[in-house]
Structure formats: C-alpha cells, structure tokens
Structure 1
Amino acid sequence: QSLQFLYPEVDSHGHVFEVALGYNISFAFPFHRVSSNLMDLIILTLYMGWLHVMLGLVMGFRDVLLIGNGHGGIGLVAAFFEKGTWMLLLIGGLLFTHAYIGSHAEFLNIGVALIGVSTVLLMWTLYRYHGLDLPIAIMMGPIEALGMMPTVISYVRLFAVGVVGVKIAETGNHMFYDNITMDEPFMAVILFIGWFVVQAFAWVLGVFSPNIHAARLHMVEWMKQYYDSSGKPFSPFGGTSRFVEGE
C-alpha cells in the first residue's frame, strides 16, 4: 500500500483515460488489446489496411502520371483509369461499410454509387489498358473489384499477431503455473518446465511473427498497388559472351 501512489487511478474498464474518436474507434490508455479493447484493435487494423493500400495507390498514380505503365499508358487519363479507379473503389467501400455496419446511414447511397461507377470504370480499364476483350473485361470487372475487399481484410492478421502470443502465454499460466505446488516436488518440476516451454514459444512468436506478417503485407498487398514489373531485365554481367567461350 505504501507504493500505491505510483499507480494511476483507473475506471471500471481499467483505463486511465478513454476517448471516443468517432467511426467506432476508441483510444484508451492502457490499451487492453486482449480484453476490453479487442474490437478496437480489429477496427484499427482495418483502417490501417485501408490507409496502407490507399498510400500504395497514390504512389502508383504518381508513377503512371509521370513515368507511365507497362502497357504504354502515361498521363493523367491513364493514371486515373489505372489507379484512380481503385481509389474511388476504396473510398466507396469505406463509406458503404460505415453505412451498412455502423451508424452513418447517410453514406449508403454515396458508397454504392462510387462502387458502381468504379466497377464500370474498371471494366473499361481492363479493356483499354490491359488488352482484354470487351466481354471478358465486363465479366472480370466485378471480380477484380471484389478482390480489393480481401486485400484490406488481410490486414486483420495484425490483430491476430497482437493477441495470439498473449493468449498462449495466458493459457500456459492457467494450465501449468497455477497448478504448481510444492506438495509434489517432481510434478512441480514437470509443470515448471512445461510452463517455461510455453512462455518461450509465446515469446518467440511475439518477436518474429510480426516481422514476417509485416513483410508479407508489404510485398503481397501493398507493393502490387504501385509496382510495375515491366522494363528491361537486370543483367549485371552483360548479354552474350563475345570473347570468352563457355558451356
């Protein structure tokens, strides 16, 4: 009790302070990611995915505008159809989601309209800039548009990374550590070893898993929004040998 002054007072949820930021986001300290703030963590990962993908599309828009793409398109019109269409789709999906799941019903019509317009524009993009036949482009447009949804949802893996290590460690505490008693020394040693192995596994998972998933999201979900693989192949040692014979 003499050290009680070192600990701040908390509310009924265990928070020193909690602020509602709107759009179903709450900022709190401490942030209890495995209990009272679990849903907040899921929503934050979705927003992070949306912003990360949008940033990649903005970079891709700039590249097509100034440099061009691998299909011969360059300039504002090409950039709009290649990347701006996806940006409109993302914005429409965000507004529709808030209206359908949240409490912002006024966004519903705008979101549906943006999704519909961007899907039609995507059909034209596939036909004009990717060389698909018009019937195939019309068929592939909605499929490509739906593909943006799992791209954003894929960022929810960050929520799982932030929770699974804690839950594994908590399970180890309940199954092993809480059952340790000195009345049975041999069993106490076995339980301690089991508890230590579980805690070590949770620690390794917490250290390395975030890096692996972050690299995967960067390489697979983000870079494809702006990276263009067209160009000259990298050949550091030149082409055909002229003066050296080799097999």
Structure 2
Amino acid sequence: MYRLFHRIDKGLEPVSNMFKQHVVAEGMVLVQQAEDTTHSKSETPFFVRKLIELYDKYMAYVTLTNCFANNSLFHKALKEAFEVDDAIEETLDKVVKLLSYINDKDLFAEFCRKKLSRRLLFDKSANDEHERLIITKLKQQCGGQFTSKMEGMVTDLTMARENQNNFQEYLSNNPSPSPGIVLTVTVLTSGFWPSYKSCDLSLPVEMAKCVQVFNEFYQTKTKYRKLTWIYSLGTCNVNGN
C-alpha cells in the first residue's frame, strides 16, 4: 500500500491517518485491560511494558525500508498515537498504585531503568514530558530513592542537548578543529545508567578525529570528568551519492 500511495501527491496522508487510528485502537485495548485488572486486583498489570512493546512493534514498521521507509508522516502519526491523554494518565495512576503489591521493588526499578535507557538512547521515547510524568507518579508512590537514577537519566538527555549546542558553537568559533563530519555526542553520568561495556576499537581516521575534537571541547568545559567512549551504543549514517 505504501509503494502504491507514495507515488500520488499527498497520497500517504490518509494512509498515515489510518495507521495512527489503528495504533490508538490497540493502545486503548491495553488501557482497558489495565483498568479491568486494576479493578479486580487479581494480578499486577504490566501496562507500561506492554505499551513499550506496542511502540517498538510499530516503530519497526515505520523504519523498515520495505514497509513505511522511515517516512516522516508515519513517525508523526506514531508519536501522536502515543500522546498521553487524560484516560491514559488516569490509568497510569491506578497502575502505579499497584506497585505496593510487588515484592521485589528493586528488581522492578532495574527493569524500568533498562527499558527507559533504551527508549532515551535510541530515540524511541514518544515524549520527554511523558517520561517525566511516569517517573513523577512512580516517585509519589515509591519515594525519591526508587526514581533517583531514572530522573538523572532524563536530566542527562536534557543536558546532552544543551551540550551539543555548545559543541556546535565551539566548532563555529574554532573552525580549525572541525571533525569534518556531523558528530553528535551524548554524555551520560555513569551512576545513573545501566552498565555498558567499553571496548578499544581501531577507529577510522575520520572517526578518531571526531573523538579527539570532542575531547578537546569537553576539556574546555570541565577538567574533573573523564570521558569513556561506548562505541557499541553509537550509530553511523552513511549517505551514498
């Protein structure tokens, strides 16, 4: 269907709207299931996990070349489908309250932290405000210690955007150390995030220069923090002519 309608001027708009409506419908089924479970209190509903799985499922469709080919209309449709409305927020309140029935809250917190890290680092989060909303509700229910690392992770991403802007300004004012390619670096605070393995790689000359230039920039910001590069979490876009 995508291949057929993308040849027509504005032909993808109705397709993306149908896609959005379908995702919303599936999401509301999860909302209703969570509400039913909350009322019965027969088991702890994993509403957030199911919602993440739903998002991952349809994000895969959006990014697949033979499906929606990363088209911006479908990215927008998916994002809008996951906007938190009053009904979902009310359900989140009920689900979070059921955390009192979980015996191993530390294990649950670690599970939440790992899932949150993937959403934040791989840009799978629908909205930063929604992440903060969930964390706030968890904090109200379980206390600040339960959510302190998750709050730190979201703050890290906010600071990373500011840091990236400062890096671009640094390159503008100092053209000589330019890495020559577009470089985006996300600086994380190790104590907040899950542990990631660091390995020594023999980088191509162009990428090695990127690392060198950013290290030089970072030293102008602070001399008391050491950067450890986690290449396994990086991505590289190569455009062919």
TM-score range, shorter chain: under 0.3
Structure with max Cα Rg = 1
Higher relative contact order (CA closer than 8 Å, sequence separation 6+): 1
Task: With the length of structure 2 as denominator, give the TM-score of the two structures.
Answer: 0.26
More strand by share: 1
Q: TM-score, normalised by structure 1?
A: 0.25
